[in-house]
Structure 1
Amino acid sequence: MHPKTYTRALALGLALVVSAPGAGFAQDATTAEQTVDAMNKLWGRHPGLRANHAKGVVLQGSFTPTPEAAKLSKASLFAGPAVTVTVRFSDGTGLPTIADGAKEARPHGFSAKFKLADGGEVDMVLNSLPHFPVATGEEFRDLLVAISQSGPDVPSPKPVETFRASHPAVAAAVGALTTPESFARQAYNGVNAFVFVDAAGKRQAFRWRVEPVAGIATLNAEEAGKRPANFLQEEIVARVAKEPVAFRFLAQLAEPGDPTHDATKPWPKERRMVEMGTLTLTQAVPDSASAEKALLFLPNALTDGIEVSDDPLIDARVQAYAVSFGRRQ
């Protein structure tokens, strides 16, 4: 997405008003505004920081595509040569001082901004969830509201227990989460479906999967609890100072009948995986805090050859990120 289009998308996300129900919300608030308000209620407001995934660290590197990538998509990202990439790793929640090893710090996030030769940008917003816990922005807002209403003094069934009972994908998604030994030893998933378009106009739905070249390594709860509060942040900075950190970018290709509109439904594991390229991180950004404040990653910041699918969560995420960005500025 070129800068002018990128700015227009942000403005639309901030300005669009859609009435939606919600406990304790202004009637004219958008679902995105209600979602960010619910996050602020859960974790507090922290000026200059994101409403969710507030704690993070920024690194830089490059992305080199494979020959197979250009066969699936006409995007210049896959035509070569290598392009510059900015990556932000993050902890979950809006708490900027959360311990990296805390259970609540999961899922961990991986956001990447690819700088194209023509001045455009492509964003990818991934996390360690195997799939998303809910299918729509309204359901995500309702989940956050249910959590905020389920304090220790609230009798059972708490609102969050009732919500989970009617949304089984929540337990399936969060139950699979782990704490990594390093951000460089974690796999990340693009829970939303997107669409490749090749030079002949053929369309192929896919989901991203990013795997560490160093292999996946996790910590159990006891081990994670003993680590310093900032161990993931500090370890990745120290690691990249010694040697490059590499990730394989894989595209899981949908087959006819695989749902693209519902992020709670993962596709069968036997679906074909195509290696699209390698991202290599070579340095940490000197002033990560300043870089984080300026960065905005939007799932629909794409380029010709990559398109959004019919997944409603993509637009919901874009609008919520835009609201959060506007408030932290």
Structure 2
Amino acid sequence: MPLPNDEKVVALANDLLAQFHKLFGPHPGFRPAHAKGLMLHGTFYPAPGATSLTKAPHIIRKSTPVTVRFSNSTGLPTIPDNAPDANPRGLAIRFNLAEHVHTDIVSHSTDGFPTRDGAEFLEFLKAAGASGPEVPSPKPIERFLGSHPSALKFVQTPKPFPSSLARETYFGVTAFRFSNALGESKYGRYRIVPEAGNDYLTDDAVARLRADYHSEELAHRVRQSPILFRILVQIAASGDVTDDATIHWPEDRELVELGTLELTSVIEDTLVQQKQIIFDPIPRVDGIEPSADPLLELRAAIYLLSGRERRSAKA
């Protein structure tokens, strides 16, 4: 996983990391965003018709071992699971193709992203950081949201609390170009749907949750039986925008099933493994290529830089 060649992208990635640390404080050994998480082992089984969409190796094989990380939002490693800022939740999936060979999916539980590119996202974070309770209205974040309708829409999108992280749907932020063995290509976005269905808690139930409820519930659930998700790809129609994560595609777009994710156990040394693993938003695998979305190279740079920082932190 190399750093981008573009020095401006790397500089922006470093500025974003610095802003995350300013917002949430430095927490050595943890991610600057989605710091609190739990990792599980499992297996991916491709759907019979998935090769019509892509020739990617984990689609051609009968099965592929996976490493999965569920997470809360923010850079706070001890954020209570019932805190409003714990949403949206994250789900990252690593398909382990061979030793030191993999491809990843990075997703979260709100469909879309607040800004078109990294520069706007940095502006968004700075506005949020300058808008404490003592700051009079209109606060910087209010002014930013008032002039950026996509960010306002993202912020106002309902983010209900799932009864389990195994009963939440997760969405890929950016689009990718999927190609099959015949050379046919389509753009699509990942959608990861729980086999058990979505289920959300009332406000009263959320208020009663323990601080580590979701990780405890997930660990208990997977001990009872495997956790199943269906990995789908929402296919772009002709004319759909494929390089802007703030633009949603209509719900009537075709959904192609890639396969089933079966999670079977919690990784015992989960904190150590979370410190080491660096997920990559860019597929880097034959049959799935990045779109022109400007967030992709930036996110890859942030993940790599923060991962190096995390790995070098003293235990």
Structure 2 residues without counterparts, runs of 5 or longer: none
Partner Cα distance (2:221, 2:97) in 1:
27
Q: Secondary structure at the match of 2:104?
A: strand
Assess, with a 3 A threshold, how the Cα gap between structure 1 residues 50 and 199 changes in structure 2: closer, same or farther: same
User: How high is the sequence identity, in percent, across the aligned residues?
Assistant: 41
Structure 1 counterpart of 2:7: 17
Q: Secondary structure at the match of 1:173?
A: helix
Q: For 1:314 and 1:221, how far apart are their aligned partners in 2?
A: 35
Q: For the Cα contact (< 8 Å) 2:283–2:290, is it kept in 1? A: no
Q: Quote the Cα distance in structure 2 between the aligned partners of 1:326 and 1:222.
A: 41
Q: State whether residues 242 and 291 of structure 2, in contact with CA within 8 Å, keep that contact through their aligned partners in structure 1.
A: yes
2-structure distance, mates of 1:34, 1:55: 22
TM-score with structure 1 setting the length: 0.91
> Counterpart in 2 of 1:320?
302
Partner of 1:172, secondary structure, is: helix
CA contact (8 A) 2:164 2:199 kept: yes
Counterpart among 137, 142, 154 of residue 156 in structure 1: 137
Q: CA deviation at 1:328?
A: 1.2
Once residues 60 and 98 of structure 2 are traced to their aligned partners in structure 1, the CA distance between those partners, rounded to angstroms, is 11
**Counterpart contact for 1:193–1:311, Cα < 8 Å:** yes
Q: Deviations over 1:210-261 (max 9, x none)?
A: 0000110011333212100000011101110110000000110001110011
Give runs of aligned pairs for residues 1-329 of structure 1, distance below 5 A.
6=1, 9=2, 12-13=3-4, 17-18=7-8, 30-117=11-98, 120-174=101-155, 175-329=157-311
Retained in 1: the 8 A contact 2:276–2:310? no
Indicate the SS of the match to 2:7. Answer: coil
**TM superposition outliers: structure 1 runs of 4+ over 3 Å:** none
Contact 1:53 1:92 in 2 (8 A): yes
Contact map agreement 2:112 2:248 (CA 8 A) in 1: yes
2:283–2:289: 8 Å Cα contact kept in structure 1?
A: no
- Asked if 2 retains the 8 angstrom alpha-carbon contact of 1:83 and 1:117, the reply is no
RMSD of aligned residue pairs (Cα, Å): 1.4
| 1:213 aligned partner, one-letter code | E
CA offsets per residue over residues 112-139 of structure 1, 9 Å max, x none?
0001158621100000011111110111
Alignment CA distance shift 1:73-1:301 (3 Å): closer
Using the alignment, how far apart are the partners of 2:286 and 2:264 within structure 1? 28
> Residue 248 of structure 1: SS of its match in structure 2?
strand
Deviation at 1:101, TM superposition (A): 1.1
What TM-score do the two structures reach when normalised by structure 2?
Answer: 0.95
Distance in 2 of aligned mates of 1:229 and 1:119: 35
